[in-house]
Amino acid sequence: MEFFHRATSFPFMSTRKVWYGLSIVLILISLVSLATRGLNLGVDFTGGVTVQATFPTAANRDAVTKALTSAGYSDPQVTIFGSSRELAIRLPPTKLSTAEVRGKIEQILRGIDAGATIQQVDVVGPQIGGELQRSALQALIATLLLIFGYIALRFHTWRLSLGAILAVLHDPILVLGTFSLTQTDFDLTVVAAMLAVIGYSLNDTVVVFDRIRERFHTGRRLDPVAVLDQSINQTLSRTIMTKVVTLIVVVALYALGGPVLRGFSEALIIGILAGTYSSIYISSAVALDCGLKAEHLLATAVKKPLDDLP
């Protein structure tokens, strides 16, 4: 079996204006959504209480909301998650211990269905939330800076570096945008997934750029557009293949891993799709529009000798 039996020759570069347009539209939608709707930050980041409960039969969300409101809880957020029998209840910060929260909520839920059981109670102080927001942001910025540094060292011309950086920024923005649009719970595991995506999506760009350098070595008179198209086409089979395999496992995680990992795997799926797209359509195109030519790579590109490692 082979997806691309003969070498493909899609004209990626000539259609790049279309893909720029698409990316700009998607990024704008993401940014507008982030600015207006914001993220539905999880209890890790805001402080507060979450209670997970299971019912013997399908849970009645409205009844639970009503019961909580009449018990004096202001603005409880009740969501069905996992199966229809599982509920997550989110309440504002409290000074009570998990045991006390458990006792009170259990009483209310048992009033609706005697078979309701509480699975998990999470009480996060507000100071922790603020701190986690900060450290998540720091992690994100530190990772991006480190990767920018690596890109600057790795590619011998700023034209390629800029392409890689824009592609790297492209993906987390789309992940954030999707989470903002769908108002999916944005918790610490999603941040972890985003960092993994940042590291992982650069893979393709690096592989394509490697190939571009190699192609320019074979002839410096080659037309940059042709070289870039050839490089992307030659690595296309590998790019698609790896992403398909990674998506297989991540989709398995999404479908079977349970509600705790849902946000995490969702971020990975979006990130991997966006990363594949950006490394095919964005990174090389940006380099081309910055005027990438053979001499930019040949002047300094003394290819280091391969190790005798296997």
Looking at residues 274 to 303 of the shown chain, list those that interact with other proteins (rule: CB under 8 A): none
Q: Least distance in Å: CB of 260 to other proteins?
A: 6
184 binds other proteins (CB under 8 A): no
Nearest CB to other proteins, comparing residues 13 and 86: 86
Nearest CB to other proteins, comparing residues 33 and 155: 155
Residues 76, 99: Cα–Cα separation, whole Å: 19
Residues 155, 210: Cα–Cα separation, whole Å: 9
147 binds other proteins (CB under 8 A): yes
Nearest CB to other proteins, comparing residues 32 and 141: 141
Among 43, 50, 119, 54, which Cα is nearest to 83's?
A: 54
- Give the CA count within 13 Å in the CB-facing half-sphere of 73: 24
| Residue 177 CB coordination number (10 Å) | 23
Applying CB under 8 A, which part among 15-23, 63-71, 95-103, 224-232 lies near other proteins? 95-103
At residue 88, what is the residue type?
A: A
Taking CB under 8 A as the criterion, which residues in 187-226 touch other proteins? 188-189, 191-192, 195-196, 198-200, 202-204, 206-207, 210
Residues 241, 304: Cα–Cα separation, whole Å: 28
Residues 96, 103: Cα–Cα separation, whole Å: 11
Q: Least distance in Å: CB of 37 to other proteins?
A: 25
What 3-state class would DSSP assign to 123? strand
Kindly give the pairing relationship between strand 185-186 and strand 117-124: unpaired
Nearest CB to other proteins, comparing residues 36 and 127: 127
Query: What is the per-residue binding string for other proteins in 148-177, x denoting contact by CB under 8 A?
Result: --x---x-----------------------
Taking CB under 8 A as the criterion, which residues in 15-74 touch other proteins? 52
Taking CB under 8 A as the criterion, which residues in 5-24 touch other proteins? 7
Q: How far is CA 212 from CA 107, 175, 206, 216, 240, in A?
A: 65, 28, 10, 6, 18
**Pair 141, 158: CB distance under 8 Å:** no
Q: Least distance in Å: CB of 107 to other proteins?
A: 15
Q: Least distance in Å: CB of 90 to other proteins?
A: 14
Among 34, 122, 158, 169, binds other proteins (CB under 8 A): 122
233 binds other proteins (CB under 8 A): no
What 3-state class would DSSP assign to 67? helix
Among 117, 103, 116, which Cα is nearest to 49's?
A: 103
Among 139, 152, 166, 273, binds other proteins (CB under 8 A): 139
77 binds other proteins (CB under 8 A): no
